[in-house]
Amino acid sequence: MLFSGVTLFVLAARAEAVSPVPAPKPRVMSPAAAVGVWALAQLVPSPLLVTGKEHVGGGVRWQVTPLLYSFGIAERPLRAFLVSPIARHSGSLELHLSPEWACCAPGQQTSWLVRAGLRLYLPLEEHGEKLSASLGGAYYRAAGGGGASADVGIFTFNGVLGLNVAVSPWLTRREVITALTLRFF
C-alpha cells in the first residue's frame, strides 16, 4: 500500500511538471486603455436615499479624489485621482469632491449640489479588504447656500460596496442622505 501511494505521488508530480500545453500569456492592456476603462467606470453613480423633514426622495452621487495619502501602504503613499482600493481602505486620508443630484430642493431651486471635504478611512478586517470604515467632514454648496456636513461609512468587498450616511443639518429637505456607495476601480 505504501508503494502504491508513493508511485501515485511520483506520477502526479511528473504529470504536473511535463505539460504538453503551454501556459497562456496574460492579456496586457495599454495604460491609455486602462485609464479609459477606469474613466468610464467612474461615470456610474451611487444611488441616494434622501430624507428630510416630512420628505423622502432619491438621488445620485459621484466622487472624485484629487488627493489621497495612504498610511496603510509603504509604496507610493501619495495618490491623485486614480486610487487603488488597497491604498484607500488600508488606512488613508483623502480630499474628495462629490457632485450630486439630491431630490427635492425647496421651491424652484435646482437639486444639484457639490461637496468638498476630508475623509478618513480605517481598516477593520483584513487590511480593509473585507471591511473598512470612514469618517468625514465636508462643506456643501447648493442653490440655497452652503454649510457643513459630516458623514460616516462602512465598506466591504475591497471597497466596491458600501453604505455612507451624510448629515447636513442646514440643507433644507435633504438633511440626511444615505448612499449605497458603488466604486468600480
User: What is the per-residue pLDDT for 144?
Assistant: 82
Whole-prediction pTM: 0.79
| pLDDT for res 6 | 54
In angstroms, the CA 149 to CA 144 distance is: 15
CB atoms within 10 A of CB 52: 19
Is the pLDDT confidence value at 18 over 80?
A: no
What is the structure's pLDDT at 107? 83
Residue 10 is predicted with a pLDDT of 54
Dihedral, CA of residue 84, residue 86, residue 87 and residue 89, to nearest 10: 120
Q: Is residue 119 over pLDDT 80?
A: yes
Q: Which CATH number fits the domain 45-182, given the four candidates 2.60.40, 2.40.160, 2.40.128, 1.10.20?
A: 2.40.160
Cα separation, 168 vs 150, whole angstroms: 7
Mean pLDDT, range 61-67, rounded to an integer: 92
Cβ(98)–Cβ(134) under 8 Å? Answer: no
What is the predicted pLDDT for the residue at 1?
55
C-alpha dihedral (161, 103, 148, 84), degrees to nearest 10: 20
Torsion-angle region of residue 129: left (phi > 0), alpha (psi -120 to 50) or beta?
alpha
Per-residue pLDDT, 108: 83
Distance CA 170, CA 175 (A): 7
- Give the mean pLDDT of 173-182: 91
Query: Which one-letter amino acid corresponds to residue 63?
Result: Q
Show me where the domains of the chain are located: 45-182
Name the pLDDT band for 116 (thresholds 50, 70, 90): very high
